[in-house]
Amino acid sequence: MRILFLEDDELIASQVKIYFELKDNICDTYSDGQSLLDKAEIGIYDIFLFDINTPIKNGIETLKAIRKHGCDTPAIFLTALSDTQDLKVGYDAGCNDYIRKPFDLEEVEIRVKQLVYKNNKNIIKIDQCYSFNISKEKLMFGDNAVDLTKIEKDIIFIMIKNINNTIPASTIIEYVWRDVFVCDNTLRTHIKKIRNKLHNNFIINIKNVGYKIQAI
């Protein structure tokens, strides 16, 4: 598990890093939000663990900047704040959970594992670059969401739900357009548009049968 940890208290940062790395995890630490945004390779992490009150750019501002790029990696805020309004601001910024300071390291580990496990169940990995978030119906290129229309998302979704299996064109059409009559050429046109947005073409055409997404 890879953890991205934002914490300006050197003692806390060291304690958390040692605790997780003794259990064969990777925990990269930054003391301010701007350094994290400038240097960290955001897309490689399984979870963000951010203190709210950090210098230069605080945890909330840092997470907002990350979320703007479409990154859905789960995030936990560490805070001594208890005001309801402060908590609301954090959730609005895109955090998934809060842990109040002072905290117990075992509690942090349990909460981190729960979020990572829940998130991984929703993520279908296609290849080294692409994945699909089932719950949010988002195709991701690294930590960036691919800009797809509603129809394009539906086409990808039905193939992802049946990944590595060939889906007849008629089944895709029925799922995407419901009761509207659509010919195979329309489906082909939309798949071509999807392919034009991809760096890697993972949509395979099975001649006279249908299509499939082949995970690598």
* Ramachandran angles phi, psi of 161, nearest 5°: -65, -20
Question: What is the pLDDT confidence band of residue 206, given thresholds at 50, 70 and 90?
Answer: very high
* Ramachandran angles phi, psi of 13, nearest 5°: -60, -45
* pLDDT score of 118: 82
Beta bridge partners of 75: 48
* pLDDT score of 134: 81
pLDDT in tens, 17-40: 999 999 989 999 999 999 999 999
* Ramachandran angles phi, psi of 5, nearest 5°: -115, 120
Question: What is the pLDDT confidence band of residue 203, given thresholds at 50, 70 and 90?
Answer: very high
The domain spans of the chain are 2-123, 126-213
**CA 90 → CA 19, 64, 134, distances in Å?**
26, 9, 24
* Ramachandran angles phi, psi of 28, nearest 5°: -95, 130
Assigned CATH class of 126-213: mainly alpha
CATH 3.40.50.2300 at 2-123, yes or no: yes
pLDDT in tens, 40-95: 988 778 899 999 999 999 999 999 999 988 788 899 999 877 656 677 888 999 99
Question: What is the pLDDT confidence band of residue 200, given thresholds at 50, 70 and 90?
Answer: confident
Question: What is the pLDDT confidence band of residue 11, given thresholds at 50, 70 and 90?
Answer: very high
Beta bridge partners of 141: 130, 144
166: left (phi over 0), alpha (psi -120 to 50) or beta: beta
Cα dihedral 74, 79, 84, 85 sign: negative
pLDDT in tens, 108-151: 999 999 898 887 777 888 998 999 988 778 899 988 899 999 99
* pLDDT score of 189: 96
